[in-house]
Structure 1
Amino acid sequence: MNISFDNLPEDKKNKIIQSALNEFAAKGYERASTNVIVENAEISKGLLFYYFKSKKGLYIFLLNYVIPIMYQKFYEYADMNITDFFERLKNWQVAKLTLFEKLPLETKFLIKAFTDIPKELKNDILIIYSKYTQDGFRMIFDNIDYSNFRNDIDKQKAINTIIWTLESYGNKYMKENLDEHGNLIIKKDVILNDISDYIEILKYGVKE
């Protein structure tokens, strides 16, 4: 991104960002039109490419713009004082649902980005996803009390198994519960009941 973008008045920056988010969230990376973006942002295409170099540059900028906002809001909604691992997981899911409801455009944009990854951007997106996921998990699981875990199991492997299960469930839910416009349909009671069931199974196992 050209540093000149940072020097724009906030209202102009926000108009460009919102125009781009709307277009990419509605159509995905490959079908999104920079012509539509500049028309709605009321700037020239030359200026858009001056600021971001390319369509890819704009998309990468948006990912690095949106994800920190989502994490910031998540930490506002989540209770990080809960030290019990399983209770924090439940609280985490409630915080995520609140986040999705409060920021529907940003949620729609990220769902498109991470569930239908453009081939041209696959490596870039996976690097960004990995970075923020690692940072997020490190903070989410800070100050957790693991004393109720069995001593005869590898705690890190147990945590990984639980996280993979919940992430897989979340990804599956997001793919299967989009309306005709690509907006996420949030069935809060269904999601929380499913998550509680998974956590109980993982917490106590399946063997009698």
Structure 2
Amino acid sequence: MEDKRDKILQVAVREFAEHGYKAASTNQICDAAGVSKGLIFHYFGSKEKLYTAAVAYSMDLAMREVSMEEMPKGDFVQGAIWSTKQKLSFSRKYPAVFQLIMQSYANPPAVLAERLRAYYAELMQVQEVYVNQVFEKVTLREDVSYEDARDVVQGLFDYTIKMATDYMQRHPNATMEDMQPLADKFKNMMAIVERGMVDKA
């Protein structure tokens, strides 16, 4: 029975990824999985719950395939680059799974939005660890608010992720060593944030 449930989920992932929540057809999922519609609703109860289960199935697969235990510790930039490299590798190996993860994160159906936001908030805590590492090492000036400083660092982090993603898309076999110039660039930008960029002499 578990084999049939897994087969339904695998087909549902492809159907939802390709067509989105609203346009996805449970009849098509039945046909492709070789099961009755009654069996789908026996396992999942509704299309909404099937979608949620398909997203959870996708995230579980992602977390098994990309173990956070292997992420470089203690280095903000290397962690960002490593994370980007793993994400791109996973997206090539499981395109439908990756597409559903991105789809449900960026544009969740209204009926599921609140639950999915809570689900992804837990996953984003890993990024929070790296942002917090920066502030463990610095003392802010009295006239600088923590919130503003955090927004700046978060912006640099997001920019680094974008640059790493663009680079990896152009050079899919790049190693961490190949991306060292990106790490150096991030550190230079962080130094500018810490020291300022205007010569007041």
Percent identity of paired positions between Structure 1 and Structure 2:
22
Task: Give the Cα separation in 2 of the matches to 1:133 and 1:57.
Answer: 23
Q: Is residue 189 of structure 2 the alignment partner of residue 207 of structure 1?
A: no
CA distance in 2, matches of 1:128, 1:168: 24
Is the 1:23–1:33 contact (alpha carbons within 8 Å) kept by the matching residues of 2?
Answer: yes
Q: Which amino acid aligns with 2:58?
A: V
Q: Specify the structure having the higher radius of gyration (Cα).
A: 2
Provide the residue aligned with 1:93 in structure 2: 84
Matched, 1:61 2:61: no
TM-score, normalised relative to structure 2: 0.71
Q: Could you tell me how far 1:93 is from its partner in structure 2?
A: 2.0
Of 110, 114, 133 in structure 1, the residue corresponding to residue 101 of structure 2 is 110
Q: What displacement does 1:32 show?
A: 0.5
Tell me the equivalent position of 2:169: 187
In structure 2, distance between residues paired with 1:16 and 1:112: 19
CA contact under 8 A between 2:16 and 2:100: conserved in structure 1? yes
Please tell me the residue identity of whatever aligns with 2:115: D
- The superposition leaves residues 103-139 of structure 1 with CA deviations (integer Å, 9 ceiling, x where unpaired) of 22210111211222212221121121112323x346x
Gaps of 5+ in 1: 1-7, 178-185
**2:15 maps to which residue?**
23
- Paired residue for 2:121? 130
- 2:140 matched to which residue of 1? 152
Instruction: Answer yes or no: is 1:74 the counterpart of 2:62.
Output: no
1:169: Cα distance to partner? 8.0
Cα distance 1:120–1:92, how it changes in 2: closer, same or farther (>3 A)? same
TM-score normalized with structure 1 length? 0.69
| RMSD, aligned CA | 3.8
- Over 3 Å counting, the alpha-carbon distance change for 1:15 and 1:123 in structure 2 is same
Q: How many residues align?
A: 184
Summarize the Cα distance change of 1:170–1:88 in structure 2 as closer, same or farther, 3 Å threshold.
Answer: closer
Corresponding residue for 2:176? none
